[in-house]
Structure 1
């Protein structure tokens, strides 16, 4: 491919070599370089490929894109840019012939709800007869072909490669979870979303490896609304004005406040065969009664985000309603069936904000007891452990404290931190470090009418210990326990 074609939407200067070059492929990983490739140097958290020019050239790269001065042998072309991550995004888009412009794209950002909203959107679009791609936390899907996802928002080159596959497969729509980290690292740069969705904002992902503070976190989230045509926004969120700073899109709001374009009201809880759900009325630009088999007020907000977006796209209310009755999201208030007279749920809640929302919601269904089993990740904030312990102690009738992903910490030390928060409350609890044993104990001691929530792992099917990911899928564990009892 011609170098000039790859750079056509990018501001750059040629600092060495010739522009009249044909490029074999675009690379950003030194291990993948082949003779004749273009290589984009990126500064990461652990390494900076600007420092590996000798290796890059020896492997055969003939064009190097860099954001700082590099020295190269004669015959190598150097393209200077201000931001090499931004450059990788635009070069990758050109390399794959701008696939995003051949489909309609919906991007979803927010602290909570991205995955559920994305699944709801995908289900609605599929029910309406559209072939739909999905990029998200749990899976990447090209039509009905699914594979496990890596990052919530992949590297820009991988995004463009996946979008090209979706074009090739005949997809008409793509739903993408857009993380703050993905926006910060320019992974979606150059993409214009037809619709951008904002679910909510709360303090999370703040730390040395993510965002330095809440202000930066919010600013990164807000970038989506400078690269979409229509912003479908949670009009009830206290940080809406912060997210809308500098926006360039048309704004459409949803929520429970009457000022919103799409309003939810008359909420009614229900429970059928142990599955908790909620009904609600949609008013404003759409009039319809909706029902979703996922519990709680936050499920109404998630559903309203999807409803407002799809209504903007012209989908009929009956199609959206049908989709909401059938959508299931792995690890998001997921019901696990079994031979017991209580309800077992799996959820990804792994911080105090999510746990509070989840437990408060489940309490509304008036269980005999609300039992919460959870742990906290190793090599992460101790404050999160204190807060989650205190939250479960306040809102649960009983807590089973166990392991999550201990990583390089001892599970007992993590549990001790959780206990510090728990002991600020009068909550009853037991400590069982082995998560499999903890689940078995909780199932044996379940009482009629209980709601047992296994929190923290959600869709994950592994447990990370000392750098190794061991298989651990809570659904599989529960099935095995059921079989052992037969």
Structure 2
């Protein structure tokens, strides 16, 4: 059923329409380049760009109405909808406009500092093997079955996210597996989404530039578990939680639904035992109420044992058969940029990993050390306009766990790359001792240098 601007305004307390309330709306966009005939154009006043400046372009492209908080005159022939507060208005208007897409699909939300992407890909693989059509929203890309689309934020804003979810519903997706960032939870970008199963992977230092304290960061993550506790159109909700992580208790306390815990060291609903991590993969026994299964994985590292347990927990919560879970997880090979092996015929190993937190760097390098026959050569940097306190920590860990360290630039954004490197170098110099160490600003040159230094049976970690 089509929606009019009057119907949308009726969802928001204090909204006022100037113009024809029966004007039909065909879409909602805040990017004027995406506006089409009948679109409601949302004017977002940003830090660098003000959406109000793009009203003429939006009108030219067919905008039927403008959504704003300002007392402005509407352009000729265009309806104005004025609301007291923009974000809270969008949180109710956009899901309503799309007829609440997630009520027609099962939604699995995955949050945590590390492991979200791998866990989401593993979960997607199991659900697809079970015969479901699966959409994925994550750090790397958006996927609708085999279709792939670029993404700019781990969790898009509420307008873009609801547009994506509506497209997934319209294309017949049975499931949506999505990474849910702490920023998205804190800013309520996931408003209007009914989650069915939520997963907590772990919590380590990250995004303190935004959250200020680890406690705030943890509580932002916990909001996902408040959401799964909320009543909705669907039933059968589950929280899947890593209780080896001390923040797991907080997540469980926020979840008023079924709970499935997992752990390696402690007692839990899912337990990993007899773990063996080796160069070509890992094996372990997974015990739970379903019984027991021996898993022989093609992905390696203790961190991937946790990721596999999280995905298995999500799949069990969604009533997938254990035998199918086992066969799918055992055949899973890799996620782009997540402990990804690059083989170009060289006589040394190359591993590419997204590790961008102290815990992530430590996990990757410890795993590399477990499988290393010779030296570990690490090329790494820290992104700009992000938590600065983690830079020396990551430098120190790289120096401790590598034989050769090449510090370099990694997406400096608006910061001076040499300043970022100076902060990384503080940590490197604390622990590097007599080991080989270089600082090369240009990332391409740094990678070539690592390859130049590598000898037979070395591991280059990028």
**What's the TM-score, normalizing by structure 2?**
0.87
After TM superposition, the structure 1 = structure 2 runs for residues 316-355 of structure 1, keeping only pairs within 5 Å, are 316-327=321-332, 328-355=334-361
Partner residue, 1:461: none
Match of 2:83 in 1: 80
1:230/1:392 Cα in 2 relative to 1: closer, same or farther (>3 Å)? same
**Secondary structure in structure 2 of the residue aligned to 1:167:** helix
SS at match of 2:159: helix
Q: Structure 1 residue 305: deviation in Å?
A: 0.5
- 5+ residue gaps, structure 1: 455-486
Question: How far apart are residue 79 of structure 1 and its match?
Answer: 4.6
The residue that corresponds to 1:465 in the other structure is none
The SS at the match of 2:245 is coil
User: Aligned partners of 1:41, 1:54: CA distance in 2, in Å?
Assistant: 8
1:260 corresponding residue in structure 2: 268
Please tell me whether the aligned partners of residues 278 and 370 of structure 2 are also in contact (alpha carbons under 8 angstroms).
no
- Out of 285, 310, 327, the position equivalent to 1:281 is 285
Q: Paired residue for 1:23?
A: 24
Hey, what's the Cα distance between the residues in 2 that align with 1:36 and 1:177?
Answer: 32
CA 1:86/1:321 → structure 2, altered by over 3 Å: closer, same or farther?
Answer: farther
* Bigger mean CA deviation after superposition, 71-80 or 125-134: 71-80
Is the partner of 1:233 in helix, strand or coil? strand
Alignment partner of 1:227 is 2:227:
yes
Matched residue SS, 1:115:
helix
Structure 1 pair 239–5 and aligned structure 2 pair: CA distance change class (3 A):
same
- For the Cα contact (< 8 Å) 1:124–1:324, is it kept in 2? yes
Q: Which residue of 2 aligns with 1:133?
A: 135
**Residue 430 of structure 1: how far off its partner (Å):** 2.2
- What are the Cα deviations for residues 400-441 of structure 1, in whole angstroms up to 9, with x where unaligned? 222222344554443333222211112431233332232223
> Aligned partners of 1:187 and 1:127: how far apart in 2?
30
Rounded to whole Å, the distance in 2 between the matches of 1:14 and 1:437 is: 56
Q: Which residue of 1 aligns with 2:408?
A: 402
Distance, in Å, in 1 between the alignment partners of 2:94 and 2:196 is 20
Question: What is the CA distance between 1:173 and its match in structure 2?
Answer: 1.1
What residue is the counterpart of 1:120 in the other structure? 122
CA gap of 1:441–1:18, structure 2 versus 1, over 3 A, is closer
Greater displacement, 40-49 / 182-191: 40-49
1:298 Cα deviation (Å)? 0.9
How much has 1:268 moved relative to structure 2?
Answer: 0.7
1:185-200 correspondence runs (5 A): 185-200=187-202
3-state SS, counterpart of residue 305 of structure 2: helix
SS of structure 1 residue aligned to 2:389: helix
What is the TM-score normalised by the length of structure 1?
A: 0.83
Residue 206 of structure 2: aligned partner: 204
Structural RMSD (CA): 2.8
Alpha carbons 1:42, 1:85 under 8 Å: kept: no
Residue deviations 1:293-315 (CA, integer Å, cap 9, x gap)? 22211111111010011011121
Distance 1:413 1:39, change over 3 A: closer
CA–CA distance in structure 2, aligned partners of residues 170 and 76 of structure 1 = 33
**Residues 244 and 266 of structure 2 are in contact (CA less than 8 Å); yes or no, is this contact kept in structure 1?**
no
- 8 A contact 1:393–1:428 mirrored in 2: no
User: In the alignment, is residue 247 of structure 1 matched against residue 249 of structure 2?
Assistant: no
Native 8 Å contact 2:277 2:302 kept in 1: no
What is the aligned partner in structure 1 of residue 232 from structure 2? none
Does the CA contact (< 8 Å) of 1:53 and 1:70 recur in 2? no
1:310-389 mapped onto 2 (5 Å cutoff): 310-327=315-332, 328-389=334-395
Equivalent residue, structure 2, for 1:213: 213
Q: 1:65 to 1:213 in 2, by over 3 A?
A: farther
SS of residue paired to 2:154: coil
Deviates more, 1:39-48 or 1:145-154: 39-48
Contact 1:392 1:422 (C-alpha < 8 Å) held by counterparts? yes
Shift of 1:56: 9.4
Q: How does 1:99-110 map to 2 (within 5 A)?
A: 99-110=101-112
Give the deviation of 1:256 after TM superposition: 1.8
Q: Which moved more, 1:19-28 or 1:220-229?
A: 19-28
Distance 1:312 1:103 in 2: 15
Answering whether residue 105 of structure 2 is matched by residue 97 of structure 1, we say: no
Is 1:301 aligned to residue 292 of structure 2?
no
Whole-angstrom CA distance in 1 between matches of 2:17 and 2:166: 32
